Amino acid sequence: MQKIKVLYIVSTLESKGPTNQLFYLIKYLDREVFDPMILTLSPEPKSSMKASFEKEGIDIQTLGTGRLSGILKNKKILKQILQKFKPDIIQSMGIRADGYNAGFGSEFKRITTSRNFPLVDYVQKFGKIKGLLMAKMHIAYFKNLEVVACSMSIFKQLSEIGVSSTTIQNGVDLSRFSPESITEMKNESTVDEKIVFVTVGSLIFRKNNSQLIQAFSGLGEDFKLIVVGDGPESDDLKSLDKLGNIEFVGHQSDVKKYLLEADAFVSASRAEGLPNAVLEAMACDLPVILSDIPPHRELVEGSEFDTFLFNLDDVEDLKEKIQIFSKQLHGLGGVARGLVSKRFAAEVMSKKYQKLYLQVSK
């Protein structure tokens, strides 16, 4: 049987949530059926997962051009790559990659994965004017592509603006967080007498870390918050730490160490797709306390954690939920990992994409 060739187009393989999801997807591809190749648009940053993909035997090509020069140069190079690889399916991820994919001819089956809702995410990240322009552009690209939403929440938001999509929820690779390795690393980690919470993500407005800092500054010295990540709000957030019970550790390529030092995970995000950081925390069997937004509800629906969803920008509600939550931590062992094992395994996510590839290839 002739293999189905799948070309994945992304901006870079920077170590972050969407790249993790692409890695999981490709890792569990049936190589007897599918032949994957990755095309990146720009040079790799320092925190790149390129080596991880290469260890999986993935052919990686790059245009290696900047954002502006790429617009002028890349079409010719892209055409050469397409002629050489002859993909059956082109799957893009991100606004730049989707722009190229939307412009390819109908001889290719063209798919994109939407990991955010542009009208919310871009406005929060880039401001109202630039954000709206980018969002409208990205939505126009969607109209020419087969769209996969990474969560039911994104699916519903896209449908409300007339974009049809299929839902394949993000997953987490449970083999990276085996119970044996978790136990071993926990035994090696530093024991802290305080109740330790951890949060992971960029220090930007959308992540709403200021609510966390204010809450933990008012909870007392029995509580500690580890903040993993960096970003433009870093200095402002550090200035909010009045008690000295908040540890900022900056960007980390491997966050597992900090997850295993913590007693629980917390996120106050204003918007998400289906957050990789929360999935990884739950795979480490960390109990989670999350802001009450649709993607977070989707993750914990029907579990013990859905009663601890807290209101955005309500510091007192968060403090109250943390205090109640902390008293119940010892009774929550096994709940988080059991939840992701049942609903969000990466292998299941990959199989759903493979089923879609077979459907569109007919």
Measured CA to CA, the distance from residue 239 to residue 290 in angstroms comes to 23
Give residue 298's pLDDT.
Answer: 96
Residue pLDDT, tens place only, 307-349: 999 999 999 999 999 999 999 988 887 899 999 999 999 999 9
**Mean pLDDT lowest among 72-76, 91-95, 166-170, 219-223:** 72-76
- pLDDT value, residue 188: 58
Instruction: Report CA torsion sign: 250, 256, 261, 265.
Output: positive
pLDDT digit string, tens, across residues 98-125: 999 999 988 899 999 999 999 999 998 8
The string of pLDDT tens digits covering residues 16-71 is 999 999 999 999 999 999 999 999 999 999 889 999 999 999 999 998 766 655 55
- Rounded Cα gap, residues 15 and 300, in angstroms: 25
Q: Please report, for residues 1, 67, 86, 99, the alpha-carbon distance to residue 11 in angstroms, rounded to integers and kept in the order given.
A: 32, 9, 20, 11
Tens digit of pLDDT for each residue in 141-173? 999 999 999 999 999 999 999 999 999 999 999
The yes-or-no verdict on residue 3 having pLDDT over 80 is yes
Work out the mean pLDDT of the chain and round it to a whole number.
92
192 pLDDT above the threshold of 70: no
pLDDT of residue 79: 83
Taken in order of first residue, the domains within the chain and their CATH numbers are 4-171+345-361 (3.40.50.2000), 174-343 (3.40.50.2000)
Q: What is the DSSP letter of 221?
A: T
Q: What is the pLDDT of residue 70?
A: 54
Contacts 24+ apart (CB under 8 A), 174-182: 174/283, 174/337, 174/340, 174/341, 174/345, 174/346, 176/256, 176/283, 177/256, 177/280, 177/283, 177/284, 177/337, 179/285, 179/337, 182/260, 182/284, 182/285
| Cα–Cα distance for residue pair 210/12, rounded to 1 Å | 29
| pLDDT tens-digit readout, 264-292 | 999 999 999 999 999 999 999 999 999 99
Rounded CA separation 324/171 (Å): 29
